[in-house]
Amino acid sequence: MWWQGSVSHRASVIQDTMGKIIFYEDRNFGGRSYECSSDCADLHSYFSRCNSIRVESGCWMVYERPNYMGYQYFLRRGEYPDYQRWMGFNDSIRSCRMIPHHRGSYRMRIYEREGFGGQMMEFMDDCESVYDRFRYHDIHSCNVMDGYWLFYEQPNYRGRQYFMRPGEYRRFSDWGGMSPRIGSFRRITDFC
C-alpha cells in the first residue's frame, strides 16, 4: 500500500515539473482547443485565434507571432478567460515556450551600450526601477549568466515583457525589443 502511494506522489511530482497549457479559440474556454506540453514555434495550424487560455502547470511565455516573435506574455498557472486577462492586444497567439524550473542562483549583467560596452552593472535580484539602480533608462546589451528573467518596458513590472534566458544579448533586438527602454526586471522564480 505504501509503495503505491509513493508511486502516485512521484507521478504527481513529475507532472508538476512538466508544463501544460490549453489554448481556446473562444472566450471563457469555448470553441476548439489545443493542449500543449512543450515549446511550439508555430501554433497556426492548431487554431486560428486565441481568446482564452488555461495554464494547468508550469510557467509559459506566449507570443503574438510564430518563432517566438512579436508581443510576449508571461503566464503562470491559472485561468485567463479572455485575452485582456494576459494583457493581450488581440486574439493572436502563434507560438509558446515553457519556462524551465530553475533552482540555484540568478545572475545577470546589463550594459549601457551595444556589444557589452559602456557602464555595466551586475544583478542577482529583482529591480523595480532600472533608472534608480543603474542611472540609465536604456539597456543596450545584456548577459544572463544564471536563471530566467523578465524585462519590463516600464518601472514596477509593467508594460511590454521580454523573456530572458541564459545567454548573450549583444543588442536589444536580440531579446525582441523595439527599443532599448527597460524600466524594471525580475527573476522568474517559483512564484508560478
- The CATH number given to whatever domain includes residue 148 is 2.60.20.10
pLDDT tens digits for 110-127?
Answer: 999 999 999 999 999 999
Domain stop point among 64, 99, 134: 99
Joined together, the cell numbers standing for residue 119 give: 557602464
Read off the pLDDT of residues 72-104 as tens digits, 9 standing for 90 and up: 999 999 999 999 888 888 899 999 999 998 989
Q: Write out the residue range of the structural domain in which residue 53 sits.
A: 20-99
Percent of the chain with pLDDT over 70: 90
When pLDDT is cut at 50, 70 and 90, the band that residue 18 belongs to is confident
Side-chain half-sphere exposure of 18, counting CA atoms within 13 A: 11
* Same structural domain, 71 and 36: yes
Q: Examine residue 173 and state whether it is found in any structural domain, yes or no.
A: yes
Q: Taking a C-beta distance cutoff of 8 angstroms, is the pair 77, 58 a contact? A: yes
Q: Coil, strand or helix: which one is 179?
A: coil
pTM of this structure? 0.85
